[in-house]
């Protein structure tokens, strides 16, 4: 069965796994309600969370990544059913009462260790943001809103990826071959941001971002429902609800952070736009105004021209094997952790090219498993991501439940003549995702509810972004970058060129992220919104980003992060600020400093979400 879960040898097994989890959860709810207040209450709540998450998290991954449609469909159904139960439990008055009794008992609370106390408070917080304090009718309304929001999120997410079709005769003949033909129509499935032909990028931008009425009404309903839910449970806006418990704490802090950042960037961003405009003028004198479809292409072209960093020159030094060796040696020097390939059983993986790694500490032994789903295949989503399939926790019998995660990338397959070769960007992404995986492996908490990356969103990206700093340091890269044919190391000047090139247009690239983060805050701020979502996009784009809005486009309908990062898109930027502090103070002098690695593990990784994030950063 998938991930070694015996029920999951066929799609129908999801029903069985789900029924088992729901049965177990009913028993645990009864147990929680009849147990006198004490540390055992928190244990039972965590078991309950674990029973549901073991199915929901696994299904969350399978529903987007399994090649077999029947498996994907069964997983989607399980996700929905477990999600609905979770929403109901979050408004279960008796269940909440048992936790409230514990929190109200000062003597018992005083005797709990800080992690147990925090986990109890986090569970209470889940009840509160779900509206436990409301009367029965309003609680029902909250559950229904939550379920509706889950559905809208799924529909909106699907809509963000759907291609747009256009009659092929609308486009000039010489650019049609860039798009997939379907009879008399052309399918535009993305922005073609790397295409050197300005016209292709312009056409893709205007067609792919052409507003779709259904998707627009989904987004409007999603934002309105989130707002209603937030107000129903006692918050001013959805952003206020989403930001409670994060490093930022409230929308005001996020607004100040983004404004300060924007002020610091503005002069440099202007310079970047001027450089891109000059380059466009050189290549395209009759049409030199810089447009939104130009930014990604010309910033890349400037980098390449100035530093000659053609990925083709670098790929031969970054074979997948060499990169994995590099990660293994870095983790072993820094943290005493090694990665070992394991044989998988029949039916354990969903594609024969998935590899299973055991993560082993030199004195503590086996820490957990990472399934590496690294290669492209039809129907596989193109995003790189990390999934928790099973959280770590201390079981009732004293054994530790090992964490299981999946890392998903879209690398090219090896060919007859060459292994899988990574571009510098892919190599950096591999390091980034491995940062999440190590957080999952080393965040060995007593409770599954706060294991590994189950921590505030604006802190969760810190360990992964920190890994990008390692991936861009010559001392680290020099350890593993070898030409796959000759074994020759990557010359130092090539690494420094690559690192220098990352600074080209970095301000404009970051300004774009500030714009996305600001847009996300406005959408989840005061309602009713002052204007349509498209009007707000136009206004924010011109104010915060600086490149003109293009009429009849609606980029927000492709903004898939509004689903998983609603009101929290700023997290990437805030995590980067923290990661850069950690790098400068702890690792810039010596990226292999074992004492520092141990301190980083002890202060930051080890707690998962079991400690206030800002205290971890201070430590």
As annotated, the active-site residues are 433
**Whole-number Å distance between alpha carbons of 58 and 47:** 16
Residue 219 neighbours by CB distance under 10 Å: 22
| Termini Cα distance of the chain | 42
| DSSP state string for 340-387 | EEEPPPTTSSSSTT-EEEEEEETTTEEEEEEEEEEE--TT-----EEE
| Residue 103 vs residues 45, 90, 118, 134, 401: alpha-carbon distances, Å | 13, 17, 11, 19, 27
Task: Give residues with Cβ within 8 angstroms of 285, minimum separation 6.
Answer: none
**Whole-number Å distance between alpha carbons of 211 and 555:** 8
Closest CA to 48 of 31, 25, 30: 25
Residue with tokens 């994907």: 72
- The torsion region of residue 172 among left (phi > 0), alpha (psi -120 to 50) and beta comes to beta
For residue 36 the two structure tokens come to: 């006198």
Closest CA to 25 of 17, 395, 14, 136: 17
Question: What phi and psi, each to the nearest 5 degrees, are found at residue 40?
Answer: -65, -30
Residue 213's DSSP bridge partners are: none
Radius of gyration, CA atoms only, the chain: 25
């Amino acid at each position: 069965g998938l991930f070694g879960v015996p029920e999951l040898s066929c799609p129908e097994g999801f029903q069985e796994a789900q029924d088992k989890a729901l049965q177990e959860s009913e028993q645990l709810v009864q147990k929680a309600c009849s147990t006198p207040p004490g540390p055992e209450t928190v244990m039972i709540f965590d078991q309950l969370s674990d029973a549901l998450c073991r199915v929901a998290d696994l299904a969350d991954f399978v529903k987007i990544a399994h090649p077999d449609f029947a498996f994907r469909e069964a997983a989607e159904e399980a996700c929905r059913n477990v999600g609905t139960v979770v929403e109901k439990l979050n408004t279960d008055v008796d269940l909440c009462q048992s936790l409230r009794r514990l929190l109200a008992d000062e003597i018992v609370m005083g005797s709990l260790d800080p992690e147990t106390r925090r986990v109890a408070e986090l569970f209470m917080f889940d009840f509160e943001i779900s509206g436990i304090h409301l009367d029965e009718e309003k609680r029902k309304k909250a559950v229904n809103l939550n379920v509706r929001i889950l559905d809208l999120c799924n529909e909106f997410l699907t809509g963000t990826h759907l291609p747009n079709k256009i009659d092929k005769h609308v486009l000039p003949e010489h650019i049609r071959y860039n798009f997939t033909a379907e009879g008399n129509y052309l399918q535009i499935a993305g922005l073609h941001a790397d295409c050197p032909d300005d016209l292709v990028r312009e056409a893709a931008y205007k067609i792919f971002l052409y507003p779709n009425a259904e998707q627009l009404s989904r987004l409007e309903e999603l934002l309105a429902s989130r707002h209603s839910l937030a107000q129903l449970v006692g918050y001013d806006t959805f952003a206020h609800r989403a930001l409670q418990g994060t490093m930022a704490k409230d929308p005001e802090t996020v607004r100040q952070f983004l404004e300060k950042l924007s002020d610091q960037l503005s002069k440099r961003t202007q310079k970047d736009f001027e450089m891109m405009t000059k380059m466009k003028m050189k290549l395209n004198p009759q049409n030199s105004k810089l447009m939104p479809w130009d930014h990604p292409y010309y910033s890349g072209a400037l980098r390449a021209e100035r530093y000659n960093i053609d990925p083709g020159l670098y790929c031969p030094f970054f074979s997948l094997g060499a990169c994995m060796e590099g990660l293994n040696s870095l983790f072993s020097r820094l943290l005493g952790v090694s990665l070992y390939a394991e044989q998988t059983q029949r039916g354990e993986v969903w594609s024969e090219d998935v590899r299973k790694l055991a993560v082993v500490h030199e004195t503590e032994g086996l820490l957990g498993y990472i399934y590496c789903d690294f290669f492209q295949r039809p129907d596989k989503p193109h995003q790189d991501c990390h999934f928790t399939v099973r959280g770590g926790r201390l079981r009732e019998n004293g054994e530790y439940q090992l964490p299981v995660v999946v890392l998903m990338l879209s690398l090219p397959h090896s060919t007859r003549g060459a292994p899988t070769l990574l571009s510098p960007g892919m190599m950096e992404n591999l390091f980034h995702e491995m940062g999440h995986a190590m957080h999952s492996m080393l965040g060995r908490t007593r409770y599954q509810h706060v294991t590994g990356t189950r921590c505030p969103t604006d802190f969760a990206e810190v360990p992964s972004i920190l890994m990008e700093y390692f991936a861009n340091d010559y001392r680290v890269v020099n350890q593993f970058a070898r030409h796959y044919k000759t074994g020759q190391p990557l010359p130092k000047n090539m690494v420094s060129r690559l690192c220098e090139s990352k600074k080209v247009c970095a301000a404009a690239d970051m300004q774009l992220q500030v714009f996305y983060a600001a847009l996300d805050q406005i959408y989840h701020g005061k309602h009713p919104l002052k204007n349509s979502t498209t009007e707000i996009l136009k206004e924010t784009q011109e104010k915060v980003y600086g490149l003109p809005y293009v009429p009849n486009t609606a980029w927000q309908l492709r903004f898939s992060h509004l689903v998983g990062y609603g009101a929290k898109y700023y997290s990437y930027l805030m995590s980067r600020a923290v990661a850069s502090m950690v790098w400068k103070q702890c690792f810039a002098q010596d990226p292999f400093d074992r004492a520092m690695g141990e301190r980083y593990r002890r202060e930051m990784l080890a707690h998962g979400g079991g400690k206030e994030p800002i205290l971890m950063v201070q430590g």
